């Protein structure tokens, strides 16, 4: 059993390394992950006065959301269509290890984008940040959103089929979650919907990391929800893909 787990982890790391080289670490992907959150923020902030400490967690969470999971809508359907996934399964590799590797690739890319955002903010402004809490929050959010991307991509066998609905879902999440405004200021139904969105918990965890007086219990709850959602979405995506491959 320890050998099987060790082998699965090595396979997952190899898949993550392969996906990072082929899909994630490309100029257009970095540009997309950096610029799209800024565009959405600009659309929301028109005619509004928003302070940087207030919007910074939302910007970083959006960068992670689109960076960690969006490329999954390309890599997974493309590898299904070209037969690469079947070749990986014949390696031999288990589907669970392959999916974990893809989740790790997205997670590391999401972490990279979060650092790209936070570095100039800390260097050029007076915004304070608890760095360990920030890194942990980004890690959990990146894992959850990477698994969310796999979940959205699993039902599709081609990139043009997978990308439009996944993009619509992510953009809807941005405006339905507590991205730029506190959940407490929303209407009753708005709060209910926001609490159903994983982006809300990522933003809240990042806000706790930037707070002068963070609350330990809500912060730990945010991390727990992100971890559980990520694991559940990864398991569902793997199950869906396993049925499709049978």
Q: How confident is the model at residue 211 (pLDDT cuts 50, 70, 90)?
A: confident
Averaged confidence pLDDT in the chain: 82
Of the two residues 86 and 232, the one the predictor is more confident about is 232
Cα–Cα distance, 19 to 131 (Å, whole number): 28
Q: Do 65 and 43 touch, CB atoms closer than 8 A?
A: no
Q: What is the pLDDT of residues 148-164, one digit of tens each?
A: 999 998 888 887 788 88
Distance of CA 60 to the CA centre of its chain: 11
pTM for the structure as a whole: 0.88
Q: What is the pLDDT of residues 38-83, one digit of tens each?
A: 676 666 655 566 666 677 888 889 888 888 887 787 788 888 888 8
CA atoms within 13 A on the CB side of 142: 24
The 8-class DSSP code of residue 156 comes to: -
Nearest partner of 140 among 116, 113, 107, judged by Cα: 107
Q: What is the pLDDT of residues 102-128, one digit of tens each?
A: 999 889 888 988 888 888 878 877 777
Q: How many CB atoms lie within 10 A of CB 99?
A: 24
Extract the tokens encoding 171. Answer: 């953009």
* pLDDT at residue 52 in the model: 62
* pLDDT at residue 230 in the model: 95
Cα–Cα distance, 10 to 17 (Å, whole number): 11
The domain spans of the chain are 2-245
Q: Do 54 and 127 touch, CB atoms closer than 8 A?
A: no
Q: How confident is the model at residue 1 (pLDDT cuts 50, 70, 90)?
A: very low
* pLDDT at residue 53 in the model: 65
The percentage of the chain sitting over the pLDDT mark of 90, rounded to a whole number, equals 22
Of the two residues 167 and 205, the one the predictor is more confident about is 205
Cα–Cα distance, 86 to 33 (Å, whole number): 29
């Amino acid at each position: 059993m320890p050998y099987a787990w060790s082998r699965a982890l090595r396979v997952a790391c190899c898949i993550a390394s392969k996906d990072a080289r082929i899909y994630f670490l490309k100029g257009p992907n970095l540009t997309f992950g950096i610029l799209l959150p800024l565009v959405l923020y600009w659309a929301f902030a028109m005619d509004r006065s928003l302070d940087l400490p207030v919007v910074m967690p939302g910007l970083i969470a959006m960068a992670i959301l689109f960076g960690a999971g969006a490329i999954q809508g390309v890599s997974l359907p493309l590898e299904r269509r070209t037969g690469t996934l079947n070749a990986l399964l014949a390696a031999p590799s288990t589907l669970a290890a392959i999916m974990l590797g893809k989740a790790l690739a997205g997670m590391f890319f999401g972490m990279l984008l979060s650092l790209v955002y936070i570095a100039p903010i800390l260097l050029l402004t007076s915004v304070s940040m608890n760095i360990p809490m920030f890194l942990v929050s980004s890690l959990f959010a990146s894992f959850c959103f990477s698994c969310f991307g796999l979940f959205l991509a699993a039902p599709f066998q081609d990139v043009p089929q997978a990308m439009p609905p996944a993009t619509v879902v992510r953009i809807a999440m941005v405006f339905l979650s507590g991205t730029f405004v506190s959940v407490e200021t929303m209407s009753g139904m708005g709060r209910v919907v926001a609490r159903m969105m994983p982006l809300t918990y990522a933003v809240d965890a990042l806000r706790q990391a930037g707070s002068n007086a963070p609350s330990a219990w809500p912060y730990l709850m945010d991390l727990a929800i992100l971890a559980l959602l990520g694991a559940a979405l990864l398991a569902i995506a793997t199950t869906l893909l396993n049925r499709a491959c049978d």
